[in-house]
Chain A
Amino acid sequence: MKRFDLAWLVAKRELVDQMRDWRILLPMIILTLFFPYLMNVAARYTINYVNQYGANLIAERLLPFLILVVGFFPVTVSLVVALEAFVGEKERGTIEPLLSSPLQDWHLYMGKLIAGTLVPLSVSYLSIGLYMLGLWWQNIPWPAWNFIAQTLALTAVQAVLMVSAAIVISTQSTSVRAANLLASFIVIPVALLIQGESALMFWGTNDVLWVAVLGVSILSALLIRLGLVHFKRENLLGREIDMLNLAWVWNTFYRAFTGSDQPFALVRYLRAIWQNKARAVVALQATAETEHVPPSNHNALTLSSALWLDLTGLVRWYRVEVLGALRAMRTAFSLTLLMGIIGLVIAYVYVDMNLPHNVSLPEETARDAVRAIRALLITDNQEMGLSASTLFWHNLRAELLMIALGFFSFGVLGILAFLMNFSLVGGVLAATQLVGLSPAMVFVAGILPHGVFELPSVILAASGVLYLGVRLVTPLEGKTIGETLIITLADMLKIFIGICVPLLLLAGLIEAHLTPRVLLAALGRSLELQP
Chain B
Amino acid sequence: MIECEDLTKHFDTFKAVEGVTLSVRPGQVLALLGQNGAGKTTTVRMLTSVLTPTRGWAKVAGYDVVQQPEQVRASVGVLTEMHGLYGRMTAHEYLDFFGQVYDLDPVRRKRRADQLLEYFGLAYAAHRRSGEYSKGMRQKLALARALIHEPPVLLLDEPTSAMDPESAQLVRHEIARLRSSQRSIIICTHNLVEAEMLADQIAIIYKGRILIQGTLDELRRRLLGPAEYHVKLSGHWQPQQMDWPAGVQLLRVEADGFFYQAENPAIANPLIIQQLIEQHAQVISVQEVPRTLEMLYLKAMSHAAEGVL
Contacts and interface: CB of A to CB of B under 8 A. Distances in A.
Interface of A: 1, 6, 9, 13, 16-17, 20-21, 92-104, 233-234, 237-238
A97 B98 contact: yes
Given A102-B71, A103-B101, A237-B51, 6 more contacts: A17-B88, A93-B83, A96-B80, A97-B78, A101-B73, A102-B103
A102 to B, nearest CB: 4
A237 B45 contact: yes
B85 A94 contact: yes
Nearest to B51: A234
B2 interface: no
Nearest to A6: B101
B86 interface: yes
B275 to A, nearest CB: 60
Contacts of B45: 237
Contact of A100 (B52, B71, B73, B85): B73
A247 to B, nearest CB: 13
Contacts of B52: 234
B40 interface: no
B84 interface: yes
Contact of B50 (A13, A16, A99): A99
A221 B98 CA distance: 30
Of the listed residues B51, B76, B101, B142, the one surrounded by the most CB atoms of chain A closer than 10 A to its CB is B101
A93 B82 contact: yes
B80 A93 contact: yes
B174 interface: no
Interface residues of B, number: 29
A234 B103 contact: no
B75 to A, nearest CB: 9
Nearest to A107: B101
Contacts of A233: 50-51
Given A9-B97, A237-B45, A101 B84 contact: no
B74 interface: yes
A237 B50 contact: yes
A101 B86 contact: no
A16 B71 CA distance: 29
Nearest to B88: A20
Interface string B138-155: 000010010000000000
Contacts of B11: 238
A139 B51 CA distance: 62
A102 B60 CA distance: 14
For A6, A97, A234, which residue has the most chain B Cβ atoms within 10 angstroms? A97
Given A100-B73, A237-B51, A238-B11, A9 B86 contact: no
B38 interface: no
A100 B48 contact: yes
A96 B78 CA distance: 9
Contacts of A17: 86, 88-89
B119 interface: no
Interface in B45-86: 45, 48, 50-52, 70-71, 73-74, 76, 78, 80-86
Contacts of A99: 50
Interface string B15-32: 000000000000000000
A101 B72 CA distance: 9
A18 to B, nearest CB: 9
Most buried by B among A17, A94, A96: A96
A99 B81 CA distance: 14
Contact of B97 (A13, A93, A237): A13
A16 B87 CA distance: 12
Nearest to A234: B51
B102 A101 contact: yes
A104 B86 contact: no
21 contacts: A1-B70, A6-B101, A13-B89, A17-B86, A17-B88, A21-B88, A93-B80, A93-B83, A95-B84, A96-B80, A96-B81, A97-B142, A98-B101, A100-B73, A100-B76, A101-B101, A103-B101, A234-B50, A237-B45, A237-B50, A238-B51
Interface string B239-259: 000000000000000000000
Given A13-B97, A94-B84, A95-B84, A102 B145 contact: no
A100 B78 contact: yes
Nearest to A21: B88
B302 interface: no
Contacts of B115: none
The 9 closest A-B pairs by CB, nearest first: A93-B82, A102-B74, A100-B78, A96-B80, A97-B84, A20-B88, A100-B48, A102-B73, A94-B84
Contacts of B71: 102
A410 to B, nearest CB: 27
Contacts of B215: none
